[in-house]
Amino acid sequence: MTIRSDAYIDGKWRSAAARFDVLNPATQEVIARVPDLGAGETEEAVAAAHRAWPAWAAKTAKERAQVLRAWYDLMMADIDRLARLITMEGGKPLAEAKGEAAYGASFAEWFGEEAKRAYGRTIPTTTASRRYVTLKQPIGVCAAVTPWNFPMAMITRKAAPALAAGCTMVLKPPSQTPLTALALVELAERAGVPAGVFSVVTTKSHTGAVGKVFCESPLVRKFTFTGSTEIGKKLGAACVGSTVKRVSLELGGNAPLIVLADADLDKAVKGAIASKFRNAGQTCVCANRILVEDAIYDEFSKKLADAVSKLKVGDGQAEGVEIGPLIDKHAIEKVEAMVGEALASGAVALTGGKKHAAGAQFYTPTVLANVTRDMRVNTEEIFGPVAPLIRFKSEDEAIAIANDTEYGLAGYFFSRDVNRCWRVAEKLEYGMVSINEGVFSNEVIPFGGMKESGLGREGGVEGLEEYLETKFMNFGGF
Ligand code: NAP
């Protein structure tokens, strides 16, 4: 399998003497060594993006759509290699990685088409001698920073709308999973994306220096980030404080999954597993905590624990594996600490509750009963295969527990009562609410959060807006 391991700046592959290791989280083996670039190379990439912008923006939306379509076709044709790379460096099971690759590619198809409809408006005038119109124009150079948990889709969800709108982009991929990013830019080059329009700067020791250029360069007009709330707040503040650039933030979550007494319990168990255990619990929209109504608590816990105890754990590259490793040593330590604290405070492990024999970074899929609201497994993002169950007695109590967090990304609930579905969905303070289903992401929906889960939306019509300026024009004096 071809693995690209150099960075890509201004249409050229860039090597460097200083390189860092990319590890397979299942085995800790080194897969490749990637350039450890810094502020100088980032400034070069930004300057190239700035030079490339006018010609790219001057193309018609249809011309850019043809390039994006070619990129989509190349990604789909190369889906097996992309999926294997995602699994090798990110750890998720191959079937999930294939799903991510198709999901990731879909943004190129969708936004290429959608940019053809970046309509302005005519506004009825207030004065007889004037006419008012608005025009949608690309923002300009965009800088992007993405996380390791979706090595492909978090990139295309930003790069596709940016390029479709007529912007250019410099990406800093995560240090744990830069190889998928490099494969993507290789395919973008083959699709006809011109030099400078999409560059990838890899870095590990100079992450802060690269981030500083992104936030402070006056040539960068937009900064788009997906990652933790802590880092997102810091970088967002730096962008506004230095150069008042447009900022999009896709940050952490603490998703509740509520099972109401009238729910179809088998469907709820299936949904809870799909939501909680995808990518071993390492997604921002993973159900972090499961709230269960008193009347069905025992029955639901038993069904869930039975199903969870059967999940197959192992190297994501092996056939039939459903739960891969956690991304690194810190991740496994954090999960161990959170479960340990919960057990010490009265929670009970119905299944799991400890590391898994498959390797140093594997954790056994776990269901914790008797969890209380003050435990960290309820208040913080776990990012591991651990389902804490919290008992509630009324719909209002469930909504209060669900909303009692600084996060507001995704929320889920299960009920067969249509009135209740509307009532609960409207009261949940979450950017995305999924009813009776544990998985919902795709390219046509506005993905994003309320509260400290972020600013802006990715995907859908809204995702294109994030890369467009609205210019107002007054035609006067006639
Ligand atoms: P993270 O630690 O915030 O890192 C995210 C990215 O920021 C990485 O590329 C990281 O680079 C980079 N970074 C860190 N410090 C930086 C700095 N000073 N300047 C520039 N870049 C910097 O988050 P993570 O652990 O990778 O990802 C997990 C988090 O992402 C979770 O909280 C999850 O909920 C969230 N997430 C949100 C969404 C969403 O759509 N809302 C989607 C996926 C994930 P290095 O790799 O070099 O550290």
Is residue 228 within 6 Å of ligand 1 at its C-beta? yes
CB 15 within 8 A of CB 197: no
Nearest residue CA, atom 28 of ligand 1?
227
Tokens of 472: 């107002």
136 bridge partner residues: 470
Nearest CA to ligand 1 atom 20: 211
Assess whether the C-beta atom of 175 lies below 6 angstroms from ligand 1: yes
Instruction: Report which DSSP code applies to 295.
Output: G
Q: Is 153 in the pocket of ligand 1 (CB under 6 A)?
A: no
Number of C-beta neighbours around residue 8 at 10 A: 24
C-alpha 51 – ligand 1 centre gap (Å): 28
CA angle 48, 89, 156 (to 5 degrees): 45
Q: For 360, phi and psi rounded to 5 degrees? A: -60, -30
Side by side, which strands form the sheet with 386-392?
Answer: 348-351, 366-369, 386-392, 287-293, 255-259, 410-414, 432-435
CB atoms near residue 193 (< 10 Å): 24
Neighbours of 359 (CB within 10 A): 16
- Two structure tokens written together for 163: 């390029």
pLDDT on residue 478: 86
Strands 468-475 and 454-455: unpaired
pLDDT for residue 438: 98
Ligand 1 geometric centre to CA of 328 (Å): 14
Strand partners, 137: 469
> According to the model, what pLDDT value does residue 458 have?
98
pLDDT averaged per 10 residues, the chain (length 478): 96 98 98 98 98 98 98 98 98 98 98 98 97 98 98 98 99 98 98 98 98 98 98 98 98 98 98 98 98 98 98 97 98 98 98 98 98 98 98 98 98 98 98 98 98 98 98 96
Residue 143 Cβ inside 6 Å of ligand 1? The answer reads no
Dmax of the chain from CA atoms? 79
Task: Tell me which residue has its CA closest to atom 41 in ligand 1.
Answer: 250
Task: Quote the tokens at residue 438.
Answer: 């544990």
| Interatomic CA distance for residues 106 and 104, integer angstroms | 5
Please give the DSSP secondary-structure letter assigned to residue 281: G
Nearest CA to ligand 1 atom 10: 174
Residue nearest ligand 1's atom 42 by CA: 284
Ligand 1 binding pocket includes 409 (Cβ within 6 Å) = yes
Q: Please report the atom of ligand 1 found closest to the CA of residue 234.
A: 18
Residue 258: phi, psi to the nearest 5? -100, 130
Predicted structure pTM score: 0.98
Alpha-carbon distance values, 442 to 102, 106, 157, 385, 452 (Å) = 10, 8, 10, 23, 22
Rounded CA gap, 94 and 311, in Å? 15
**What residues act catalytically?**
250, 284
**Is the minimum distance from the CB of 204 to ligand 1 under 6 angstroms?**
yes
Residue with tokens 């395919």: 187
Q: Mapping DSSP to helix (H, G, I), strand (E, B) and coil, where does residue 414 land? A: strand
Closest C-alpha among 462, 453, 397 to residue 285: 453
Return the closest-CA partner of residue 360 out of 319, 331, 394: 331
